[in-house]
Structure 1
């Protein structure tokens, strides 16, 4: 049935004309079609062009609707890149689940593993970890290769992992003798790696509740725990502390000192100097990653980018900018963020 539907597309001159124009690198506008026909055409273009495709929608609701429409034409669901809320307020505990899903999808997109990626304007436009940083902070474990344990644990800590006695959730690792357990956001289950000296001897996934190994693995990918990792500052935690110290000094030299902001910066600085977790590290994203980057920077150069309802996207962009501006104004007045670090979209 599916093959018949795609065969019908090839008999439509409008479709074949658009396909040929895209092959030549031209921009194409397709208008006046229903939603189900839109999904049919998009799936057909993906099959024929054999290149990554990014579908940009105005919001999450439109993204979910498009994903549902595409199900009848694809072997696997097209993933939707989730948005996330920046943690700029003080908080005791913060869930990183949305960030981890984002990093996993962004990594796969950059690696060319995602045939069709759906994004909302919000998920596309929000500042994130630059692709070069994600690539450098990620690594693979392969059986038969050597990994000095001190270097390995240092990389895990810099990527935001916390050491514990028993791994139960993403972002944790445990080391017992020559056995290293890691729960990477790249995987649905944690991995147990057994070493003989520095050589990785065996490896397999295990159930975090029963701690029983259930599937062998030859190679696994380890990703950072979240999008804003202080340890990934170009000069490490020490470099971030230096930058915050300079920021405090500049604030104190002002004629009208913003005392609430100085208090916030000083408190955060003390956390970093004492290797304590700071859930509000998003405040310092511009210091940790001097290069501005969004999900758009992860889109492969050969990808076909589809703007689904361009006028709605323009409205979504304006609305998102206004909303972020109002939020940042409130935070600035409360002394919770520094004005020079507010470049988030």
Structure 2
């Protein structure tokens, strides 16, 4: 739907924001936007930010997911990536989502390669500390047919990149060596690869099916990225053991002096072995990142110089970060007193001051609905956009037709976004019945013009009206409202319900004993135990 963004280029406020980015303004602010209006503006900004990536920070994950979907629809063909939340929990985790880890790794790989992308990240995801980008970038392996590569060296590199050696490759992050065949499932790939060697030369590379283990299409080269976010180089292992041992001993002594012998014993059981001999990746190692790397690095440090950052609703972003930090502080304080964690594990997340420092190194646009500026926002220029949210028509097509005629008379272009081609035909037919000429196009490209009423397939959470560029966008949800499946109330029938209409003396049919006469509810003694009530059926004579 790139064609939908074209009218934006004539909006004075949008032009001003672009000039601010070109002039390297460190802070700009824009007010008056909510819902899909923000996605529309951000997509327009990302479209002209080439060749640099753009990072959008949202308060929560729900907003990030919705915004990623909408921007991807507005910028077809662009690399729009969600950087999801992966919580670090101070407990032993047996398994975690490979899908979430793969999504995050895909974003980091894209940024270290300098690719153009639109990255949407919730505030909590931005708080997670990462390894320095140069170290993460070195943890990549490229193989091509005809190249020479020692298999022993490849195994060492794959292990250092966080891959797990197994007997059979079935999932992401695994590799297997059988004779002259190396199977690897890169974390960010959809299928594993099979690399065949002739001596030390790469003879062939094929993708294969993990379920059937059958080789499929042949490829010329493959790039294998890191299998985990925390990449540890040899020197960092020494830093880890030294720092962990020192802090473990200090914390154990502190607990013993306080008379907390149980907590000290718990601490020893949990950390003594790790402090003495850890020399390879282990489950939950991400919680110990501060022991490997002291410098605070976040996704903001993976962006190249000059890459713009958009902070959506900065007041809520700051509130979310403060809330997360308070909850973590309470949790870690309790666990620390019980010998379950070490002090520096709390530092696996960055603080607000670290985020502010990261933002200060990039041009930032702060966007919010209300014109309120927190103390950390000091824009060099501010814009207010008089855009309007689209009202709900609640299925009243006559009202919609009247509104379209009004827009057309005012020189507007009207774009109606629906979920499917079938729904588009229904809308076209209904509008025709109400005297409105509209047409369908597979893409808005070239059709968003004054007086046109276009129906196209697209997805936005809500429509909007842009008076300054004469554009009205109506979504299917605006037309019909949000339907909810009506739940039918089920009557709960008790076990005694079939008997409530019985009267003493009525004849009944018993499933096992045939016809009988109902004598009513009477006391019964069964097995020496008296029951208050019972239903007695007397077999007929």
Aligned to 1:69: 70
Which one has the bigger strand percentage?
Answer: 2
Unaligned ranges ≥5, structure 1: none
Q: Which moved more, 1:69-78 or 1:207-216?
A: 69-78
Equivalent-residue separation in structure 1 for 2:330 and 2:251 (angstroms)? 23
Tell me if the contact between 1:87 and 1:281 (Cα under 8 Å) persists in the aligned partners: no
Aligned to 1:84: 86
Aligned to 2:332: 328
> 1:97/1:269 Cα in 2 relative to 1: closer, same or farther (>3 Å)?
farther
Equivalent-residue separation in structure 2 for 1:22 and 1:189 (angstroms)? 40
Aligned to 2:274: 268
Aligned partner of 2:196 among 194, 197, 203: 194
Tell me if the contact between 1:162 and 1:173 (Cα under 8 Å) persists in the aligned partners: yes
> Is residue 2:307 matched to residue 1:303?
yes
Deviation at 1:194, TM superposition (A): 1.0
> Is residue 2:285 matched to residue 1:281?
yes
Aligned to 1:7: 6
Tell me if the contact between 2:133 and 2:302 (Cα under 8 Å) persists in the aligned partners: yes
Tell me if the contact between 2:169 and 2:184 (Cα under 8 Å) persists in the aligned partners: yes
Equivalent-residue separation in structure 2 for 1:55 and 1:283 (angstroms)? 26
Deviation at 1:53, TM superposition (A): 1.0
Deviation at 1:41, TM superposition (A): 2.2
Deviation at 1:226, TM superposition (A): 2.0
Aligned to 1:30: 30
Deviation at 1:104, TM superposition (A): 1.9
Aligned to 1:122: 124
Tell me if the contact between 2:81 and 2:119 (Cα under 8 Å) persists in the aligned partners: yes
Aligned partner of 2:294 among 290, 293, 299: 290
Equivalent-residue separation in structure 1 for 2:59 and 2:113 (angstroms)? 25
Equivalent-residue separation in structure 2 for 1:197 and 1:83 (angstroms)? 44
Which one has the bigger helix percentage?
Answer: 1
Equivalent-residue separation in structure 2 for 1:20 and 1:133 (angstroms)? 35
Could you report, residue by residue, the CA deviation over 1:221-258 in whole angstroms, capped at 9, with x for unpaired residues?
222222235xx154365664454444444445556273
Equivalent-residue separation in structure 2 for 1:321 and 1:180 (angstroms)? 44
> 1:48/1:249 Cα in 2 relative to 1: closer, same or farther (>3 Å)?
closer
Tell me if the contact between 1:79 and 1:116 (Cα under 8 Å) persists in the aligned partners: yes
Tell me if the contact between 1:186 and 1:221 (Cα under 8 Å) persists in the aligned partners: no
Tell me if the contact between 1:57 and 1:120 (Cα under 8 Å) persists in the aligned partners: yes
Deviation at 1:99, TM superposition (A): 2.4
> 1:97/1:70 Cα in 2 relative to 1: closer, same or farther (>3 Å)?
closer
Q: Relative CO higher for 1 or 2, CA cutoff 8 Å, sep ≥ 6?
A: 1
Q: Larger C-alpha radius of gyration, 1 or 2?
A: 2
Tell me if the contact between 1:233 and 1:240 (Cα under 8 Å) persists in the aligned partners: no
> 1:270/1:100 Cα in 2 relative to 1: closer, same or farther (>3 Å)?
farther
Aligned length: 340
Aligned to 2:44: 44
Unaligned ranges ≥5, structure 2: 350-541
Aligned to 1:208: 210
Deviation at 1:132, TM superposition (A): 2.0
SS at match of 1:135: helix
Equivalent-residue separation in structure 2 for 1:287 and 1:226 (angstroms)? 17
SS at match of 1:55: strand
SS at match of 1:10: helix
> Is residue 2:219 matched to residue 1:220?
no
Equivalent-residue separation in structure 1 for 2:103 and 2:342 (angstroms)? 28
Tell me if the contact between 1:129 and 1:228 (Cα under 8 Å) persists in the aligned partners: yes
> 1:136/1:110 Cα in 2 relative to 1: closer, same or farther (>3 Å)?
closer
Equivalent-residue separation in structure 2 for 1:36 and 1:100 (angstroms)? 28
Deviation at 1:290, TM superposition (A): 3.2
SS at match of 2:332: helix
Equivalent-residue separation in structure 1 for 2:251 and 2:72 (angstroms)? 54
Aligned to 1:135: 137
Aligned to 2:322: 318
Equivalent-residue separation in structure 2 for 1:238 and 1:12 (angstroms)? 56
Aligned partner of 1:181 among 180, 183, 188: 183
SS at match of 1:185: coil
> 1:55/1:248 Cα in 2 relative to 1: closer, same or farther (>3 Å)?
closer
Tell me if the contact between 1:271 and 1:278 (Cα under 8 Å) persists in the aligned partners: no
